[in-house]
Amino acid sequence: MKKYIWSFACIIVATTAIAKPSKIIHLDFANKNPEISVYEWICKQAKSNLYRKKENVALHMGFQDMHEWEAFKEDFTIDANIKKPDIINHNRYKKRVISTKLKRSIYNFLEYPPVQNCLQIIDIINEYNTASNIKKIIVETECFGTIEFRAARIIDEHNLDSYLDCNCGEIALKNNRYIIFLDPIKIYHWELSNNMIEALIGHEIGHILHDDKFNEYLILDFYNQKTGTYNIINSPLFVNYKKACEVAADIVGTFGNPKWIHEWINYCKLIDTDTPEDSNSSHPTGKQRAKYLQEIYKNIAHAP
Ligand SMILES: [Zn+2]
């Protein structure tokens, strides 16, 4: 009888272990340094999580350590010839003009003092198509160079059926300049509030703060030069790294603003189409994202 109980217990332990995916990020609030703010703490945790995942990829690619990686990065320029359609697809963004609503959200976001502090904005210029149609908003920053905002229909040509399920915003890197694309059709479809759009912009800025696209191209180009393929895209190490990029952008991109955290939780739930089995996706599931964001919200809201 004892034996049966024991094996029954083992089955329960084993199935819980399988059903429960490992925590996507450990925020470790119990050990938070009281000297620093909640926001500083979560950024630190997100950064070291991202660093570990990047290190795993770097070692897998044959780098001895991260010093070697940094030295390689220093000399790396993005090869304009990266041809794989998924990587740089010039048809991906169908131009739209920036609406008054979008413009207001972009300006509201940029005016938030912690954003100003972080980016050190020098100038904001509206570039017009015609007298009244804004083509792009160009933001000159001290810390991250020039960042462009554009409106576009973001189309994944391989996945047309799920057009509306995909992200409402995206980051691209062209000629060493970061561009944030916002999709007005998806924003309208999902009825995103102004606060939600601001949170979305925060997430995309979060990717810029960690130079995610540049690092991604570096990995893909390096791997392609070595093997002639981009197969690393499907490796679990790379997928985990991409997920860590999303987690870090979610966290850093809140700029500690409770309103944006709250709205970003709602957004993540709203556009969550990933099934739990979809471990190959480059994004954590909306449920996973909502979970760590809720933990952050609780701590920020209760901070002295
Ligand atoms: Zn993202």
Whole-number Å distance, alpha carbon 1 to ligand 1 midpoint, is: 53
pLDDT of residue 273: 63
Across residues 182-189, what is the average pLDDT?
A: 94
Cα–Cα nearest to 213, from 154, 282, 269, 155: 282
Domain residues for 121? 21-301
Provide the mean pLDDT of the chain: 86
pLDDT band for position 140 (cuts 50, 70, 90): very high
At 21 the pLDDT is 47
Cα(182) to ligand 1 centroid in Å equals 12
Between CA 131 and CA 31 the distance in angstroms is 55
What pLDDT, on the 0 to 100 scale, is given for residue 71? 92
Indicate the pLDDT class of residue 229, thresholds 50, 70 and 90: confident
Q: Does the pLDDT at position 183 exceed 80?
A: yes
pLDDT digits (tens, 9 = 90+) for 201-220: 999 999 999 999 999 988 98
Q: How far does residue 282's CA lie from ligand 1's centre (Å)?
A: 9
171 pLDDT band (50/70/90 cuts)? very high
Determine the pLDDT at residue 25: 93
CA of 206 to the centre of ligand 1 (A): 8
- Rounded to the nearest 10 degrees, what angle do helices 38-61 and 286-301 cross at? 150
In a domain, 252, yes or no: yes
Number of domains in the chain: 1
In a domain, 4, yes or no: no
Is 156 part of a structural domain of the chain?
yes
Q: Give the C-alpha separation, 182 to 167, whole Å.
A: 9
Quick check: 278 pLDDT over 60? Answer: no
- pLDDT for 112 beyond 50: yes
Rounded to the nearest angstrom, the distance between the alpha carbon of 130 and the centre of ligand 1 is 31
For residue 44, being part of any structural domain is answered with yes
SS3 163: helix
* pLDDT score of 19 more than 50: no
Cα of 217 to ligand 1 centre, how many Å?
Answer: 15
Write out pLDDT tens, residues 37-95.
Answer: 999 999 999 999 999 999 999 999 889 999 999 998 888 877 655 554 445 556 788 89
Find the 242 Cα to ligand 1 centroid distance in Å. 9
Query: Which pLDDT value is given to residue 5?
Result: 54
CA angle 45, 51, 92 (to 5 degrees): 105
Q: Is residue 2 in a domain?
A: no
User: Could you tell me if residue 14 is inside a domain?
Assistant: no
Provide the pLDDT confidence category of residue 167 given band limits of 50, 70 and 90.
confident
What is the Å distance from ligand 1's center to 107 Cα? Answer: 20
Number of other CB atoms surrounding residue 205 within 10 Å: 24
Higher-confidence residue of 21 and 256: namely: 256
Average pLDDT of 281-299? 91
Identify the band that residue 132 occupies on the pLDDT scale cut at 50, 70 and 90: confident
- Residue 255: the pLDDT is 97
131: exposed, middle or buried (Cβ count in 10 Å: 0-12, 13-18, 19+):
exposed
Distance 170 CA to ligand 1 centre (A): 7
15 in any annotated domain: no
CA of 202 to the centre of ligand 1 (A): 10
CA of 169 to the centre of ligand 1 (A): 8
